[in-house]
Amino acid sequence: MNTIAIAIDGPAGAGKSTISRKVAETLGYIYVDTGALYRAIGLGLVAAGIDTDNTEAVEELLKTTKVNIVYIDNEQRVMLNGKDVSEKIRTPQVSMMASKCSALPVVRTFLLELQRKLAREHNVVMDGRDIATVVLPDAKIKIFLTADANARAARRYDELILKDPNIKFEDVLSDLQQRDYNDSHRAIAPLKPAEDSIMVDTTDNTLQQSIELITNIVKQKL
Ligand code: DC
């Protein structure tokens, strides 16, 4: 069977995951959040006390690491060595480690085939940083979502404050800027649009407006 892929890339906080999930739901495709895979590796590294400058130790750890995705009630759950870590990966510390480890070729290679296999077996809406450029260059529709850093940090802050009342906006903003820098300046598969990506800026949109906008673009192009 020939499957259809929709690639949605962009920086943290641009609205990728909520928008992609909704588009997938509307079309009856599965939603694949590839950031969760890098976060699972990041969590593994944090738990093992390994930093990313020790590439040998990272490589050793990957030999005994198993990451996969399962769907429970249509929701993506990320498994690290057989344990569901879907909640544990959503901390600022794991976000930063995910960004750092995602610059390592060994980590990107480790996760590439899993992502492509999902797209071979299912119709997917896949979100990430390099989906249109590297993972699925033949995706039928490619969208690059952006928004200015302050707007993205404000959205992220609203999510994080629910879990940690002491979180500071300035810290959320500077973490996000650091991740933007890491993700777009790494040597392999940096965050960038493909030549044929459709650029969408969500700065002044409510989430609902962005969902409608992207859903319309996708319906038109399919
Ligand atoms: O989408 P996210 O914020 O959950 O992603 C966490 C980190 O993973 C992000 O800072 C960079 C990395 N990542 C990547 O390098 N390539 C992807 N396709 C998805 C995420």
Q: Of 40, 44, 34, 42, nearest to 12 (Cα)?
A: 34
pLDDT at 74: 85
Q: What is the mean pLDDT of the chain?
A: 96
pLDDT higher than 70, residue 139: yes
- Mean pLDDT of the region 38-43: 98
Ligand 1, CB within 6 Å, residue ranges: 12, 34-35, 38-39, 95, 98-99, 102, 128-131, 179, 183
pLDDT higher than 70, residue 1: no
Domain of residue 102, CATH code: 3.40.50.300
Q: Of 198, 185, 180, nearest to 139 (Cα)?
A: 198
pLDDT at 38: 98
The whole domain housing 151 covers 5-221
- Going by pLDDT thresholds of 50, 70 and 90, the confidence category of residue 71 is very high
Taking only the tens place, the pLDDT of each residue in 44-57 is: 999 999 999 999 99
pLDDT at 97: 98
The pair of structure tokens assigned to 68 is 């996969």
Q: Which residues pair with 166 in a beta bridge?
A: none
- Mean pLDDT of the region 195-219: 96
Cβ atoms of 141 and 222 closer than 8 Å: yes
- Ligand 1 mean position to 35 CA, how many Å? 4
Closest ligand 1 atom to 36 CA: 4
In the chain, the number of structural domains is 1
Angle at 197 between CA 146 and CA 116, to 5 degrees: 100
- Ligand 1 mean position to 132 CA, how many Å? 14
